[in-house]
């Protein structure tokens, strides 16, 4: 079986292996096409007679009459890869217990990857060669730019002082602080002490014995803010003597009892703020503090 031969010259070295063709029983054509079919799993490597391919390549090199060391080295690398790949494929498909056989099976995919990598490098080398050939047909402009074209752009005039330029550079190079996120759009829903007091009085009045625990009074609270406001409403009601507290033990359950009829409890004054009365109270407190002696007066009735 003979290989198709093309004369080799020094300028044809880069494409010498591409011109190599093989003629086997199950394949006839360029060597690169054979590698492509094996890499795409369209031709089983076990059906390729590598010895015949090697013989044809040796005959191909001899007929060229020129020592092509690069092409020979390239062919040996590809042939060694195909040989390892064929050895891995010839292993039995059943259960493998030998460590060496397992290693060959694991290396089979790596060998396919090497084959595809070789093909990719050849394609890239071909593209680079074409780009170099196209670039060799071009030459750079050797004459200077014509005066009428050179005067189209005006001369650059620096109208910025060094101090101003330094200030601009300092402002540009100054690290920016963390961005501030505004919270104006965030707000908690307003909870009225007056409304919560009315809710407490209504629930105590409906319940048997007009008594409820604090846990049950806040069981339907949507959030902690409602719990706090409801507790403030309890304090307001307690200050007006509308309710009473009962706690059997320290830190025990707090029980609230409505002391009178619900319609007698005035909750409309809650949430009201009298600035004038508060100012008067503060002034009176300050005046009493100034008139009080520095010595300890001892216990008073309020104590």
Asked whether the whole model's pTM tops 0.85, one would answer: no
User: Which tens digits make up the pLDDT trace of 20-54?
Assistant: 777 777 777 777 777 777 766 667 777 777 777 77
Contact at 8 Å (CB) between 29 and 46?
no
Average pLDDT of every residue of the chain: 72
Contact 10, 69 (CB under 8 A): no
pLDDT of residue 111: 63
CA distance 115 to 117: 5
């494929």: which residue's tokens? 89
Distance, CA of 177 to CA of 179 (rounded, Å): 6
Q: What is the pLDDT of residues 45-56, one digit of tens each?
A: 777 777 777 777
Per-residue pLDDT, averaged over 124-145, amounts to 83
Confidence at 166, pLDDT banded by 50, 70, 90 = very high
Look at residue 4 and tell me whether its pLDDT is greater than 50.
Answer: no
**Domains along the sequence of the chain with CATH:** 10-91+103-130 (no CATH), 193-267 (1.10.10.580)
pLDDT band at 300 (very low <50, low <70, confident <90, very high): very low
Q: pLDDT tens for residues 43-100?
A: 777 777 777 777 777 777 777 665 566 677 777 777 777 777 777 666 655 454 556 6
Query: What's residue 207's pLDDT?
Result: 80
């Amino acid at each position: 079986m003979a290989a198709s031969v093309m004369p080799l010259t020094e300028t044809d070295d880069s494409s010498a292996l591409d011109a190599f063709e093989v003629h086997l029983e199950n394949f006839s054509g360029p060597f690169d096409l054979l590698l492509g079919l094996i890499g795409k799993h369209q031709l089983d490597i076990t059906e390729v007679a590598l010895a015949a391919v090697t013989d044809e390549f040796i005959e191909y090199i001899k007929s060229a009459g020129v020592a092509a060391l690069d092409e020979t080295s390239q062919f040996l690398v590809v042939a060694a890869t195909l040989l390892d790949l064929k050895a891995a494929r010839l292993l039995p498909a059943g259960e493998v217990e030998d460590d060496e056989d397992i290693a060959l099976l694991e290396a089979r995919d790596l060998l396919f990857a090497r084959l595809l990598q070789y093909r990719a490098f050849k394609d890239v080398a071909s593209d680079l060669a074409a780009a170099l050939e196209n670039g060799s047909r071009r030459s750079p402009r050797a004459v200077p730019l014509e005066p009428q074209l050179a005067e189209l752009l005006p001369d650059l005039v620096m109208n910025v002082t060094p101090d101003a330029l330094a200030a601009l550079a300092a402002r540009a190079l100054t690290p920016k602080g963390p961005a501030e996120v505004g919270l104006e759009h965030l707000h908690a829903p307003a909870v009225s002490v007056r409304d919560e007091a009315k809710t407490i009085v209504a629930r105590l009045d409906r319940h048997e014995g007009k008594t409820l625990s604090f846990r049950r009074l806040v069981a339907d609270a949507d959030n902690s803010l409602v719990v706090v406001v409801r507790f403030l409403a309890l304090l307001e009601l307690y200050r007006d003597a509308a309710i009473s507290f009962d706690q059997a033990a320290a830190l025990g359950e707090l029980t609230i009892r409505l002391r009178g009829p619900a319609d007698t409890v005035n909750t409309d004054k809650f949430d009201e703020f009298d600035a004038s009365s508060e100012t008067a109270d503060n002034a009176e407190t300050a005046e009493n503090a100034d008139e009080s002696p520095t010595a300890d007066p001892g216990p008073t009735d309020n104590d």
